[in-house]
Structure 1
């Protein structure tokens, strides 16, 4: 799917929860539906630490990307199964410490793709592509990473 192609609204499931929207809500995101919040609230009854773990995971992501850029000199990142954009995404952290850093986000969720592409439309160093991270990398998918 080309970088600027829009995802049709009909492709975005709003009648069942998605992990990206539920996780985004746990991080304070606003792009979710009642069905996503309901699944998180039900999960909290069985696993009350899940929100804390999600937030600790995001703090770890920040520290890891900062280290990779500042200490290891890494300037290219692939975030597979990236989820919905929230605060301190890989591109924000990487480009804060190295404005030339390049990031490719990979996801299969139509709402993730729509939001990511809208958010990153003016960022030439960052791309969002459609791919299923569970599948073996194919020539077409790796070509899309190189060409954006």
Structure 2
């Protein structure tokens, strides 16, 4: 079933996303629009074009946002489509992105079972989502 089929059928993650998220165009970084090379300077990304020390030229740049090789490896490993994989820079960012995409401020709530990972409650509160604590 394609993503469009899922939307029409009212199934899949797309129907659960906030309307504002579905209406957004995907972010395209300036880096993806130009051919990159060692002499390209990305001042908009606060990157320095020079090596921090000899032999460390790869450390002067930020990594790609959704590295194709990593996404492909995850898809192959878990037998998933690339539309089902998002690479985050750690659990905090992943949780924050999920709260923003799927929780409507002052409408939705998140249930946590303390003691648990603090980022669940923190991200929910930042998004304006009620946190309900249910003890184990």
TM-score, structure 1 normalization: 0.27
Which has the larger strand fraction?
A: 1
Greater RCO, CA 8 A, separation 6+: 1
